[in-house]
Structure 1
Amino acid sequence: MHGLLNAGWRATSIGLLGLSQRAGTVTYYCEAIPGQGKTPITSVFATPGDVDLLIGQELLELGRLVFGGFASSTCSIIGNSTRYLTTMEKMPAEGGIYDSSIIARAVAELAPGRHNVVDAQRLVLEAGLPALTSNALLLGAAIASPAFDLPREPFHEAIRESEVNVKASIAAFDIGYNRVKDGTLPRMMVEGQAPVDGAELARQRQGRLSENQRKDYDRLLSHAAVTYGPRMHLILAEALYRLMDYQDTQYAEDFLERVAKMAKQPGADANLVEAYAQHLSNWMTYEDGARVAQLKTRPERFERIKQEFGVTGDQRFVVTDYLVPDMEQILGGLPKPIANLAEKIGRMFKSDFDAMKFPIQVNTNGFWGYATMRGISMLKGVRRSSRRYGHEQILLARWEAAIVTNLKKSPQLGALAADAGRIVKGYGRVRTDALNDFWIFLDEGLPRIERLVQAGGSMDTLGSKALALLAKEAASAPMMRAFLDAEEQRIKPA
């Protein structure tokens, strides 16, 4: 708005309370007209079908505006295709991400030839600018668009007046402005989900491992490829990397031994083994304190933060992590005898011992903060003797027994028991709720599905729908029960 005022326009704006996963908590609406004539009467609310320019700092935010019907018949649309996932997209355990192509198609149909939806963050990073200057790039594109087509100088002045990252913001503004003017700014940079190449994935993952682990990774993956064929290559390439990065080579070998044992079970087909391997690798890399500390102190994390915020040269920056470990998470990382003793003593002095939490702030790239986190990450050396590890082994054995038991009844039931591993995700309370759903499915859901199939129901349909309900969000067992109740009423023999 300040740029428009500098350009001699009359302009008013208002921030409307709303949702924004990328840029704050308001949607800004601006009305402006050129010249210095009579004072215009402006509105503080956007009128559907009468907005001449839509700017979305994030793709889903742009989608809300597009589907809200605000655009006029000659509207120009400028948007950022970079995704910052919403809370509602992150909450489901799987399949919660909105399909970006729906928004892309709507924009192209609504404003043919008058839209630029680009990966603004990528464009500024490629120019050596901070990721957060992507807003300035979008502004430059908007000012050069048919909606305004104004000179850049008044907006340069507005950026200088803001006194916020002036040099980088002007450079980003000029990228958007110049590329609209010369016609080189892409109309659409919303890409679909490209198929993943297994060989390329393996090369990438191998490159992330230490020099000593790379040969072991290649050896294990090559042997597994011969044993299981190309169908399993993608899963195993990712699984072996995660397991070796999480613990060590022996841990990855333990994983392959469990997969081989399951594959030898009578009736175990490729679908069962594939599902079991994928979900087993996720389960075995559960997030404990050592893993969190390992991820928080990686050099590439600090480099990514520096790049995102445009930290250069000798500029000082501080990374503060906010952690809230509970008592179970703390004790779970300790050797079982020590954890049990600490728990026994703690219960003597604190009646709410189990509910205790410890909110902390750690300057992770400071000397003491980094040293503390690195020390915690070294607990992975005693992970196999920890109380949490022993507990997870018991749970895994129970899951494997359920797979074998159901496999003896039918290959389809066995495959469903294996695929149920996708329910187990998250940490803390979420993981506890997910595990409860998991056991309810194995102990109650599968027998009910078996009876429904005997009454004429479809194993694939019943199993996939029940699992989808549970995998979407933790603590969804009541939804699965309601679904099976309805199916029992529908399929009930006359």
Structure 2
Amino acid sequence: MADRGQTSADVIKIAVLAVGGQGGGVLTNWISDLATRGGYAVQMTSVAGVAQRTGATIYYVEMAPKTERDPVFALSPSPGDVDVLVAAELMEAGRAVMRGFVTPDRTTLVASTHRILSVAEKQVPGDGRSDSTLVEEEIIKASLLSVCFDMEAIATNAGSMISASLFGGLARSGALPFDNVLFEEVIMASGRGVDQSLAAFRGALTFDENAGRTDDIIEVKRVAGPAKLLEEWNALLNTAEQVAPESRDMAIAGLRKVVDFQDTAYGAAYLQHVLDLQGLDSSDQGFRLTTTGAKYIANAMCYDDIVRVADLKTRASRQDRLLKDQEASRDEIVHVTEYFHPRAQEICGTLPAGLGGWIERSPKVFRMLDGLVNKGRRIRTDGLIGFGLLWFVSSLKPYRRRFLRHCYEQAHLDRLLKAAHDARALDYDLAVEVLSAQRLVKGYSDTHERGQSKFAKVLGALPLLQGRDDAAEWLRRLRDVALKDEDGAALDGALATIASFVQE
């Protein structure tokens, strides 16, 4: 009988979903090379996504053992007809399941469980992240076999790209009829970053799931510095031991943030605020008030101003991160351009309180200043002049508490703490929700102003809610509405609802 060639059952169909910068093309080329070295005929295609986060590029590979007749391959994957699905990020795996590319009777799923937040998740003023645990459970249930863990962390630790650890995950799955040695030969033949790629490949291949998830590992950094500052820092840590065990970890995290923002004296003031709240708390309530206060007081004390922005942009750690993100060595020339758009408000906020306040109270002077500064500016910080300018602004940090912006932020913190203390006298849960309202205030410029406006509106409802059994629940609802409400219309509607049933 004549050879009739391959049947559809002989063809292995692999789909790879990846966004820009994740090495999806490299991974697909490796799979193609692997098939060729293994004696298979192979074809690869790709369909680009619309944009980086509105659609991943779908790379598609079909392979079959070589015979006398050339096989006929498809150009794109079809729902229910994929043998192996490789996803470079958790939500891409979830989208593949929704599109029908992953089926429980056929598909081996290889996916990294790390997250890249989508535009829709980022644009929510509060926490807009989707539930990763739920997605992970669903994609595992939807597949015949799953190999899912944080392959991005493995690649990062090896100094490589996620394509290498995904290749290791693919080898680990056993879905392809090739020996692991052949996988390594493909990487070695690539000729660039071989050692790092091999390390990432082997890391994924030998990953021990029983040893714990890689994203559960917390790096503990040793604090270093001048002896006097270290002595002051250790004294703060000793004071932090007075915080209840249930709240201590949060308090120490907040302390680190506050001291990094300003200095140890600022850290001492932070701890005093936390301990004052603890005096109103009890173990019967699990010290929820203290824990919540430790988090949001630190956020309120570490506001974004020009000095903070300049400080962060001139740190050596940021330069290291930029080089890493661009995959550039220290021998390569990298140009860095920063974009700034300051308004008169930001300039006044960075002036001594008296002078800044006088300018804000003088409409003509304020308009003149705004006309001078309210322009978009691009500053090259890879040169001496641009970097020196930002460094000078960051050097104003020791004088921050004399600035007008600090006066405003201190007044805001005082209002927050007073509202929480007053609420605690009547309703413990309400006091916790008052502190949580600080979530509304974040960012800088217009974003900060909108947050402050929403914060004022939410706390403005306290006189209407106090004394009600459901006061805390209503304040939480107001906060949640405000976090999701861009223009404030929904928040105004919720406040009107409260006013209506109070009047009744």
Report the TM-score range of the alignment, normalised by the length of the smaller protein.
0.7 to 0.9
Q: Cα 1:284–1:413, aligned 2, differ >3 Å: closer, same or farther?
A: same
Distance in 2 separating the partners of 1:109 and 1:257 = 50
CA deviation profile, 1:334-363 (whole Å, cap 9, x unmatched): 32455467776765657x639923232433
Residues 150, 215 of structure 2: 8 Å contact kept: no
CA deviation profile, 1:100-140 (whole Å, cap 9, x unmatched): 3223323433335x33224333323443x33xx22133235
2:253 aligns with one of 233, 238, 248: 238
Q: Which residue of 2 aligns with 1:363?
A: 381
Distance in 1 separating the partners of 2:280 and 2:143 = 58
Distance in 2 separating the partners of 1:84 and 1:39 = 38
Q: Which residue of 2 aligns with 1:323?
A: 339
Structure 1: state its 5+ residue gaps: 161-165
1:97 aligns with one of 112, 119, 129: 129
Q: Cα 1:38–1:415, aligned 2, differ >3 Å: closer, same or farther?
A: closer
Distance in 1 separating the partners of 2:153 and 2:409 = 41
Q: Cα 1:31–1:324, aligned 2, differ >3 Å: closer, same or farther?
A: same
Residues 52, 74 of structure 1: 8 Å contact kept: yes
Q: Which residue of 1 aligns with 2:410?
A: 393
Is structure 2 residue 496 aligned with structure 1 residue 478? no
Structure 2: state its 5+ residue gaps: 1-27
Q: Which residue of 2 aligns with 1:223?
A: 239
Is structure 2 residue 78 aligned with structure 1 residue 47? yes
Q: Cα 1:194–1:138, aligned 2, differ >3 Å: closer, same or farther?
A: closer
Is structure 2 residue 200 aligned with structure 1 residue 184? no
CA deviation profile, 1:357-412 (whole Å, cap 9, x unmatched): 32324335x44443332222111122112121122223233334444554555555
Distance in 2 separating the partners of 1:358 and 1:244 = 31
Letter of the structure 1 residue corresponding to residue 416 of structure 2: W
After TM superposition, give the deviation of residue 439 of structure 1 in Å.
0.4
Is structure 2 residue 103 aligned with structure 1 residue 67? no
Q: Which residue of 1 aligns with 2:57?
A: 27
Letter of the structure 1 residue corresponding to residue 474 of structure 2: L
Q: Cα 1:348–1:187, aligned 2, differ >3 Å: closer, same or farther?
A: closer
Distance in 2 separating the partners of 1:135 and 1:179 = 12
Residues 336, 380 of structure 2: 8 Å contact kept: yes
Is structure 2 residue 478 aligned with structure 1 residue 466? yes
Q: Cα 1:418–1:67, aligned 2, differ >3 Å: closer, same or farther?
A: same
Letter of the structure 1 residue corresponding to residue 338 of structure 2: Y
Count matched residues: 461
2:164 aligns with one of 129, 136, 156: 136
SS at match of 2:396: helix
After TM superposition, give the deviation of residue 27 of structure 1 in Å.
1.9
Q: Cα 1:109–1:337, aligned 2, differ >3 Å: closer, same or farther?
A: same
TM-score (norm 2): 0.76
Distance in 2 separating the partners of 1:51 and 1:380 = 57
Residues 101, 190 of structure 1: 8 Å contact kept: no
After TM superposition, give the deviation of residue 463 of structure 1 in Å.
2.9
Distance in 2 separating the partners of 1:280 and 1:205 = 23
After TM superposition, give the deviation of residue 167 of structure 1 in Å.
2.0
Q: Which residue of 2 aligns with 1:110?
A: 142
CA deviation profile, 1:272-318 (whole Å, cap 9, x unmatched): 45433432221111011211222222223334444555555x52252
Distance in 1 separating the partners of 2:210 and 2:148 = 5
After TM superposition, give the deviation of residue 216 of structure 1 in Å.
1.7
Q: Which residue of 1 aligns with 2:263?
A: 248
Residues 434, 475 of structure 1: 8 Å contact kept: no
CA deviation profile, 1:45-99 (whole Å, cap 9, x unmatched): x322111221111222222213332124221222223333333333345443333
Distance in 1 separating the partners of 2:393 and 2:465 = 45
Residues 138, 173 of structure 1: 8 Å contact kept: no
After TM superposition, give the deviation of residue 264 of structure 1 in Å.
6.5
Residues 430, 474 of structure 1: 8 Å contact kept: no
After TM superposition, give the deviation of residue 11 of structure 1 in Å.
1.3
Is structure 2 residue 298 aligned with structure 1 residue 281? yes
SS at match of 2:466: helix
Letter of the structure 2 residue corresponding to residue 119 of structure 1: D
Letter of the structure 1 residue corresponding to residue 255 of structure 2: L
Letter of the structure 2 residue corresponding to residue 115 of structure 1: S
SS at match of 1:323: strand
After TM superposition, give the deviation of residue 441 of structure 1 in Å.
0.8
Distance in 2 separating the partners of 1:392 and 1:207 = 28
Distance in 2 separating the partners of 1:176 and 1:221 = 38
SS at match of 1:78: strand
SS at match of 2:489: helix
1:80 aligns with one of 94, 99, 112: 112
SS at match of 2:192: helix
RMSD of Structure 2 on Structure 1 (CA): 4.1
Distance in 1 separating the partners of 2:380 and 2:332 = 16
SS at match of 1:103: helix
Distance in 1 separating the partners of 2:203 and 2:437 = 50
CA deviation profile, 1:394-432 (whole Å, cap 9, x unmatched): 323333444455455555544433332232222222211
Distance in 2 separating the partners of 1:348 and 1:429 = 17
Letter of the structure 1 residue corresponding to residue 464 of structure 2: R
Q: Which residue of 2 aligns with 1:432?
A: 449
1:381 aligns with one of 395, 398, 401: 398
Distance in 2 separating the partners of 1:187 and 1:111 = 18
1:214 aligns with one of 198, 207, 230: 230
Structure number with greater CO (CA < 8 Å, separation at least 6) is 1
1:333 aligns with one of 350, 354, 365: 350
After TM superposition, give the deviation of residue 207 of structure 1 in Å.
1.4
Distance in 2 separating the partners of 1:3 and 1:264 = 62
Distance in 2 separating the partners of 1:153 and 1:255 = 54
% identity of equivalent residues: 20
Is structure 2 residue 150 aligned with structure 1 residue 119? yes
Residues 322, 360 of structure 1: 8 Å contact kept: yes
